[in-house]
Structure 1
Amino acid sequence: MGKIVMSGPQNVSLDGVVQDPDGKEGFGLGGWFNEFGGKDLEEWAKVALDEALGAEAWLLGRRSYEFFGARWRTRSGALADRLNSLPKYVVSSTLDDPDWNNSRVLKGDVVTEVSKLKQELDGEIVVPGSYQLGRTLIEHDLVDELRLVVFPVVLGAGERFFGEISHKKPMRLVDAETVGDGLVILTYKCVRGA
């Protein structure tokens, strides 16, 4: 059985904002990811590669699929090569013909389709970015683990990783690791039946 991991890595500000980390969406406070460099981003890139190498597949919403596809499809190198060869599943009601190799569109009810995917695959099914998809998966108890890379910046506004949910979702911290000079990776397991 597959394990759904929200990561990729999932980049968040100290106050939980995930919106527009690279500044390409036009959000006034966007681009915060790019304000960090040197050792922080070098170490972040190593984490991203290790995670990609350990993934069975990627699961994405359409917008994240288009973002990552445009960014990685034409690149080469260890991370690009892995992402380009990795099986990718896209949850979308509008995308018919995915153009990034090794991609398949999941149409229909998200919960049903992702539940089937968890049954079909073994290993980690990583959900990079895709915070709207992630909220749906968390709401329906389909996420097994969260890996958050926390950037030391407070934005004060913006789309946050966690949105409204119907009931509390207990998490258990299983790892905390400093990356570079100022980033922290927090890994949580989702606690079922609590």
Structure 2
Amino acid sequence: MGTIVVFENVSLDLVTQDPTGDEGFSRTDWRAGLAPADRAAWDRLILQDALGAQALLLGRRSYEFFAARYPGRTGPLAERMNGLPKYVVSRTLADPGWHNSTVLHGDLPAAAARLKERTEGEIRVYASSRLVHTLIEHDLVDELRLAVFPLLMGAGTRLFDPAGSPKPLRLAGARTVGESLTHLVYRAQFPAGPVSA
């Protein structure tokens, strides 16, 4: 049985929207403010994370963002991203063009649960905030990995749905990445089953 692991780049106020500035939300590439050594450490963190994944689970917009960039790239990260099985959640996407991609239709929680059942290892979710909200609400996320950037955005889509219900987590790891980033790992504490009499 697989585990769903969410990896997100977040600001200190937990904004996840447009960290590269490509979407026009802030026009700020969060990485641009990093010292070269910190940027290199972040690059190593991303590669290490991708190498630990057995599959990708992405929302349609994030899928299209990655699919427009990675097929033409080279290097270890591009090779890993291009080679992994990719599952995209979409009601509208019919024919994904990125190698080794499958569209998941229908009920998202049920489709994600089936994917967990048939996948050995970690299913990675990158940059898919709406998808993450749904997965968290249905107790399908096993682990959260957050690369915390040293900036406050003040506005933008945040990682957690403000309308969501409380979800207990346990800190499983915390370390600095370079001199200015923090990498936090939290594991889900799923609700206990019914108490027997």
- TM-score range normalised by the length of the shorter chain: over 0.9
Q: Give the total of aligned pairs.
A: 192
CA contact (8 A) 2:18 2:26 kept: no
- Percent identity, aligned pairs only, is 54
* CA distance in structure 2 between the aligned counterparts of 1:110 and 1:131, rounded to whole angstroms: 14
Indicate the residue corresponding to 1:51 in structure 2: 49
Change (3 A) 1:159 1:30: farther
For 2:153, give the aligned amino acid: L
How far has the Cα of 1:92 moved from its partner? 0.5
* CA distance in structure 1 between the aligned counterparts of 2:164 and 2:40, rounded to whole angstroms: 38
* CA distance in structure 2 between the aligned counterparts of 1:168 and 1:29, rounded to whole angstroms: 33
* CA distance in structure 2 between the aligned counterparts of 1:96 and 1:174, rounded to whole angstroms: 38
* CA distance in structure 1 between the aligned counterparts of 2:184 and 2:172, rounded to whole angstroms: 8
Stretches of structure 1 that go unaligned for 5 or more consecutive residues are none
CA contact (8 A) 2:2 2:123 kept: yes
* CA distance in structure 1 between the aligned counterparts of 2:43 and 2:29, rounded to whole angstroms: 17
Stretch deviating more after TM superposition (163-172 or 122-131): 163-172
- Asked if residue 18 in structure 1 is aligned to residue 16 in structure 2, the reply is yes
Change (3 A) 1:104 1:37: farther
Structure 1 runs (4+) greater than 3 angstroms displaced: none
* CA distance in structure 2 between the aligned counterparts of 1:41 and 1:166, rounded to whole angstroms: 33
* CA deviation profile, 1:12-49 (whole Å, cap 9, x unmatched): 00010111111111113643233224111211111111
TM-score for both structures, normalised by structure 1: 0.95
* CA distance in structure 2 between the aligned counterparts of 1:73 and 1:85, rounded to whole angstroms: 10
Indicate the residue corresponding to 2:76 in structure 1: 78
* CA distance in structure 1 between the aligned counterparts of 2:68 and 2:164, rounded to whole angstroms: 35
Structure ID, larger Rg:
2
* CA deviation profile, 1:89-136 (whole Å, cap 9, x unmatched): 000011110111010000111001001000010100000110110000
User: What's the Cα RMSD here?
Assistant: 1.2
Stretches of structure 2 that go unaligned for 5 or more consecutive residues are 193-197
TM-score for both structures, normalised by structure 2: 0.94
